[in-house]
Amino acid sequence: MTVAGVLTEVAARAKESGAPGCCMKLLLGDRVLASHLVLRDLDLEDGCALQLVKSQVRSFAPASPEAFAPASPEMMVKTMLTGDSGTGKSQLMNRFVRGQFTHEFISTLGADFLTKLLVVDNHQVFRMQIWDMSGLECFQTITCSYFREAGACLLVFNIADRNSFHHIPSWKQQLEEFGSESLMQCLVLVGTGADRGDRQVSEEEAWTLADELGCSYHEVSSKTGECVSEAFFAVADKYLNQSEART
């Protein structure tokens, strides 16, 4: 079994038990094991213990402007949703920000954005300005211009659309070309359509790609809301880590 297989099985059992989803990692000592590694190839000694730990340590909760005094510390991050047209980026944004879902598909023309206000660790106000970027080729010149000011990004594919999965490296290449170095440290890979039964991309494949991209993987359902918040919280956590490292 691969490390990705272990993480997938743990996530499935947590889901069955009704436990809240979270981003996990597997440690051998203080070494984080890459998701594509096969456990039997690690030459583990008898009695050697692997540790399963949460990779996100901050707590996030929705907030309203009325809940905090004007002097409350606030941070803002411009967060991009990038990927092929039809992968469910708009639905993902609407589920996270508004708690809404619609089956209607309308391609985003250029870009659209919504804002979500969060409170971090019960004291810091964090404003996520979430930009839904068009995946249509005719708008790529416009959408790439938005990457320059972005602080974080969710790379989105649909697990029932293998082509959208194969195109993720191309989207990352655009981020590398037009975005900042700090942006490349604040990426997560998101597979939409977790509620669907016509999967074309396995979780292990997605974890392996996430390893290659240097980010975490989150499988979500905008229809049910499953793990949607966790994906956004994970990228917010990465951004805050980068902000702390720069200070």
Mean pLDDT of 90-112: 76
Tokens, residue 221: 């359902």
The span from the CA of 220 to the CA of 106, in Å, is: 20
Angle between helices 228-246 and 89-98 (to 10 degrees): 80
Q: How many residues does the chain have?
A: 247
Contacts of 43 (CB under 8 A, 6+ apart): none
| CATH numbers and ranges of domains, the chain | 3-54 (no CATH), 60-246 (3.40.50.300)
What's the pLDDT tens digit per position in 18-74?
555 556 666 666 666 776 677 777 777 666 667 766 555 578 888 776 655 554 557
Q: Mind listing the pLDDT tens digit for each residue in 108-165?
A: 545 678 999 998 887 788 899 999 886 555 455 666 777 888 999 999 999 999 999 9
Using alpha carbons, list the distances in angstroms from residue 141 to 107, 148, 175: 16, 12, 12
More confident residue, 122 or 181: 181
The pTM assigned to this predicted structure is 0.77
Contact yes or no for 102/51 (Cβ under 8 A): no
